[in-house]
Amino acid sequence: MSEIIQDLSLEDVIGDRFGRYSKYIIQERALPDVRDGLKPVQRRILYAMYDSGNTYDKNFRKSAKTVGDVIGQYHPHGDSSVYDAMVRLSQEWKLRHVLIEMHGNNGSIDNDPPAAMRYTEAKLSRLSEELLRDINKDTVPFVPNYDDTTTEPMVLPARFPNLLINGSTGISAGYATDIPPHNLGEVIQATLKYIDNPDISVSQLMKYVKGPDFPTGGIIQGIDGIKKAYETGKGRIVVRSTVETETLRSGRQELIVTEIPYEVNKSALVKKIDELRADKRVDGIVEVRDETDRTGLRIAIELKKDVNSDAILNFLYKNTDLQISYNFNMVAISDGRPKLMGIREIIDSYLNHQIDVVTKRTRYDLFHAEKRMHIVEGLMKALSVLDEVIAIIRGSKNKKDAKDNLVAEFDFTEEQAEAIVTLQLYRLTNTDIVALEKEHGELEAKINDLRNILDNHDALLNVIKDELKEIRTRFKTERLSRIEAEIAEIKISKEVIVPSEETILSLSRDGYIKRTSVRSFNANRVDEVGLKEGDALLSHLETNTQHIALVFTNKGRYLYLPVHKLPDVKWKDLGQHISQLVPIENDEYVLDVFTEPDFKQNADYIMATKNGMIKKSELELFKTTRFNKPLIAMKLKDNDELINVMRIEADQLITIVTHTGMSLTYSTDELSSTGLRAAGVKSINLKDDDVVEMTQLIQPNDTILMATQRGAVKRIGFKVLSEAKRAQRGIKLLKELKSRPHRIVGADVISDPESIYTIYSNKDSFSGKVSDIHLTEQYTNGSFVVDTDEFGEVNALSVSVPETSKDE
């Protein structure tokens, strides 16, 4: 053997070898492909399971069998690396939608290792079938495997945008990727909108993709960071645990963590909090317990008595993984090279892949349909001259001779002749020609459809859209992560419950109540109140810690709450849910709150229901010594509920607005005082299909604002109303339409025209100034402020008074 010795510098050799190695791990190991969102090992696992029939509709199979198939045919690496990747595809706290279903111990959120592969069983999930669907129809390129004994796909057909839905994380040479998971329904909706409008902006896409949707839930803060990431591929958000406050029988409070940030190790988090307690870095924690069970995640942090729970929680947010920063780094393989991509580029790359997949699948289906059509035409022709065909076959020497004779005599093609000579005798019946004619017609229609898809780009896009909609319908789920626009500032404070003093009491629509110091309230605007996503401020009022709060609910009940027992928190903090103070029913919600210094004043409460009942009760009747459960304020009939509560000290005018646009105005002196358990009297005479939307006190200078389900807002002045008697039909406020009549879904009496109104649908909200809505006459339907095709049907209206000057 002759030796060939090359004289090379070490620097050149190492640079060349490392460059080759880097190229390999970037392209073939650590980064996902933008088209199917999978790394090579994940793609090989899914394809190996699919190829061996280990699908969702079959029985589970030993994981070791799959691992063996993968390393034996496609992935020449260690079995542990393949099994680890396989396990991750089955972990619901890692993937938003798991791609593999696994029986047995597949690890835990505490980072416990899974059972050995010989003990666990697995199969493809139902959703992963959509990644592999049509792979046998020449839709994706196949390449030889590592030893040229078989072939493997370079990419999967991926009938849904898996990269965004399940996200990805990985580190290679010089590149890393962190793509968070998203909600399947939102991503597909955004893809559909992109197909319809390729020039759609990131801001418009964010109407559909609100942000990441982590499988572990939590609260995401920072819409600006989300938008930046969607535009550039890089951005920062804050992910915060979902924490509630519970009160123990001993009077102590405990923080209950039910959701933690994505990819946080729960056991390490619990250990860290307990270390802070043991090291006395935070004073006020008695015990930390991991109470997680099969019903869900739960970490209990028990606090000392009279400790400010919000201050401790803020300390834990700052010093533990109860709150983390998540940095987008959306790098994926595109056209064979790593690329930092925004959401539009990811969707565009995915769409181009789908166009290619559907085009190839259509060509495949067209080829086989035309091939079958050719055979069917030959069989139909043969049946039309059946006797001659039989005679020729009987007179032939062998099969080949019979085929040659048929071709020569009747101009059959080779394929048609083959089909004729292999035809079974039972198919020579009269029924078979009918079946062939039916099949011929179906094939003809199918071929026309397939050719139309290939010739018409819009038809091809419609196919993609229809298939995406079908996947969305089958697999969409509700969001798990809530999104808050701003990253909350963490201020660590060790304040305790303040003594009796002037305070601000606030109540939200979702039932969160709190008292706040006047200083904290004055330091912020009214609209900066701490609220959960989708919640709104119902009422805030100045009171004293010695006063009593009366909270009325839709069930005709009231809660008697001493103000000093309410949670004392900052204006920007959430407060405590009313049910943690007094137990209420699951479908019961708060309507309004009033405070009383005592119950000796000459005042009355007026309560009105949606079915048109009303009652007046004296203030002194509401005093009680038992306040650990809700008390009856008004007896309600079946299917009725309380909608408005008013407090008066002298007779006033009251006005009612109904769903169909009727209105009645009368004086409260028509109401007699009754006991709390009374059902009241009829307020307005309603038609069978009508309900009351609003019952409120009104002054001559006030106006009424109404919103209809069609997105119209109407404002009328006091002069439109006419004072009448109780229990009449009233006057009509809307113009009746035969087609799609307007129906009032919310109304409010406006004292200050500078107030802000907000209308809501199931998917959006819109706000505006009341003064921008001009006063109109009686028989009009107002002005349209939203398009319900985009906005959705309006279902609610709320009005907030403008912020008063801090100098006043």
Of 682, 688, 604, 678, nearest to 636 by C-alpha is 678
- Please state at what angle helix 184-196 crosses helix 457-475, rounded to 10 degrees: 170
| Residue whose pair of structure tokens reads 């049509």 in the numeric block | 134
CA distance 317 to 308: 15
Contact 180, 214 (CB under 8 A): yes
Pairwise CA distance, residues 617 & 681, whole Å: 12
Could you write out the DSSP letters of every residue in 589-602? -EEEEEEES-S-SS
Q: Select which of 119, 317, 350, 558 is catalytic.
A: 119
Is 83 among the catalytic positions?
Answer: no
Q: How far is CA 517 from the centre of its chain?
A: 36
In 34-167, which ranges are continuous DSSP H helix? 40-51, 63-73, 79-88, 128-132, 162-166
Distance of CA 152 to the CA centre of its chain: 35
Q: Which residues contact 342 (CB under 8 A, 6 or more apart)?
A: 202, 229, 230, 231, 232, 233, 330
Q: What is the DSSP string of 434-473?
A: HHHHHHHHHHHHHHHHHHHHHH-HHHHHHHHHHHHHHHHH
C-alpha closest to that of 119 among 110, 128, 107: 107
CB-based contact 342:202 (threshold 8 Å):
yes
Q: Answer whether 537's CB lies under 8 Å from 508's CB.
A: yes
Residue among 393, 368, 395, 396 nearest 382 (CA): 393
Cα 602 to Cα 52, 176, 450, 669, 676, distances in angstroms: 83, 71, 81, 15, 17
Q: Over the Cα atoms of the chain, what is R_g?
A: 35
Instruction: Compute φ and ψ for 42, nearest 5 degrees.
Output: -65, -40
**Continuous segment of H or E residues that includes residue 243:** strand 242-247
How far, in Å, CA of 800 to CA of 509, rounded? 13
Whole-angstrom Cα distance, residue 665 to residue 728?
10
Please write down the long-range contacts of 515-519, taking CB distance under 8 Å and 24 or more positions apart: 515/543, 515/545, 515/563, 515/566, 515/567, 515/568, 515/569, 516/568, 516/569, 516/570, 516/571, 517/568, 518/542
Q: Is 345 helix (H, G, I), strand (E, B) or coil?
A: helix
Backbone angles phi, psi at 79, to 5 degrees: -65, -30
Three-point CA angle 152, 157, 161, nearest 5°:
130
Q: Which of helix, strand or coil describes residue 125?
A: coil
Residue with tokens 């802070």: 276
- The residues annotated as belonging to the active site are 119
